[in-house]
Amino acid sequence: MTTPLIIDVHMHIFESKEQGRESKARYPGWEFGEGAPLPPYSDYDGDVEDAAASLVEAGASRAVMVHFHHPLIGLQAGIDERLGEVGGEERARAVAAVDPTAGEALKASNMGACASVRDHPEILPFVSIDPWVLGPDEAADHLADLVKNHGACGVKLHAGSQHFAMDDRRMWPIYDACVQLDIPIVAHSGRDLGETQYSDPRSYRAVYEAFPRLKLVMAHLGNGSWRQTKEVADAFPNALFDTSEITEWHGAPLAPTREELARLIRDIGPERVMMGTDFPWWSPAHCVQGIMDMPVLSQSEKEAILGANAARILGI
């Protein structure tokens, strides 16, 4: 029996073990509703050496580091309180006034993330872009520089944390740049705190329609909003997905059961789904076993999800 190709398309890697432990401890898992116990986390803390070791443990050949640097993440609440639902140029000016150095901090963080995995060619860096701190043209130029000169292989977005909608027109030049550079995007999808739902699956519709050649991966298969996912998948054959986090929350109020999740994957097409772990919360070895234990799906479908789909779709 041959060993399947294993590629993890959704790893978080921290500068230190301490940072990783702190981040794991802060995450309550609210997206899947209140009342369910936290699934057990991995024993890994989450620095680059832990990430590399976890790949060896799982027999994985490649992984994507989704770099999570949002320079305004601690400031958005105050901006929201002051401006409410006001958007557009007024909000952009308010954000710039809060921290005029945020754009340069984002650029430095992205270059540092690329450098952090330089000695680990099996780990591919996906970098952060934030439309609040870099204008569209500046962001596109920064992204091109990262790809051509620093080894960046894709983009990571978290619209809920960054407080922009996936179909925000300021992102159009970024999406176009990704098409031109032939690099994918892994983007958070699912429920957001508050009334505004920045990243539920339906917010992806305009992007998939406007950029049919864009490799846009809807992370978490919609997360706590997973019941919207099939609707989007049916409408857009170019929609792509990863399994990170959603495989772990069976029994939570807003999570699918194992069978519901497997049937969702079967309905949208297993050939469009790639394994992600959300490391260090969960390890590749653990998530490989979780995919292999799923009902409904065939052995060949499971093996494709573990790595062959990522190799084909993302070219890694």
Give the count of beta carbons closer than 10 Å to the beta carbon of residue 257.
11
Write out the residue range of the structural domain in which residue 143 sits: 55-67+103-278+286-314
- β-partners of residue 64 are 124
Residue 232 lies in a domain: yes
Tell me whether the omega of the peptide bond preceding residue 284 falls within 30 degrees of 0, making it cis: no
Reference 290, options 263, 250, 230, 253; nearest CA is: 250
Residue 33 lies in a domain: no
pLDDT greater than 60 at residue 74? no
Angle between helices 102-116 and 136-149 (to 10 degrees): 20
Tokens standing for 309?
A: 């789909």
The end-to-end CA distance of the chain, in Å, is: 24
Segment 186-218, tens digit of pLDDT: 999 999 877 888 999 999 999 999 999 999 999
Split at pLDDT 50, 70, 90, the class of 139 is very high
Residue 154 lies in a domain: yes
Give the count of beta carbons closer than 10 Å to the beta carbon of residue 312.
12
Residue 24 lies in a domain: no
Mean pLDDT over residues 60-81, rounded?
Answer: 76
With beta carbons less than 8 A apart as the criterion, state whether 129 and 143 touch: yes
Give the count of beta carbons closer than 10 Å to the beta carbon of residue 41.
16
With beta carbons less than 8 A apart as the criterion, state whether 309 and 276 touch: no
SS3 state at 214: coil
Residue 27 lies in a domain: no
User: Is residue 297 packed enough to be buried (19+ CB in 10 Å), middle (13-18) or exposed (0-12)?
Assistant: buried
Residue 92 lies in a domain: no
pLDDT of residue 27: 82
Segment 33-51, tens digit of pLDDT: 887 778 999 999 999 999 9
Q: Cβ contacts of residue 261 below 8 Å, gap of 6+?
A: 221, 226, 246, 247, 250, 294
Residue 39 lies in a domain: no
Distances (CA, A) of 227 to 61, 202, 224, 254, 257: 32, 10, 8, 10, 12
Highest mean pLDDT among 51-65, 120-134, 181-195: 51-65
pLDDT of residue 71: 62
pLDDT greater than 70 at residue 125? yes
Sheet containing strand 216-218, edge to edge, reads 7-11, 62-66, 123-128, 154-157, 185-187, 216-218, 240-242, 273-274
Distances (CA, A) of 96 to 92, 141, 271, 302: 6, 19, 42, 46
* Phi, psi for residue 304 in degrees, rounded to 5: -65, -40
Q: What is the CATH number of the domain that holds 132?
A: 3.20.20.140
pLDDT of residue 163: 83
Residue 18 lies in a domain: no
Structural domains counted in the chain:
1
pLDDT of residue 232: 98
Give the count of beta carbons closer than 10 Å to the beta carbon of residue 273.
27
Lowest mean pLDDT of 32-41, 47-56, 80-89, name the range. 80-89
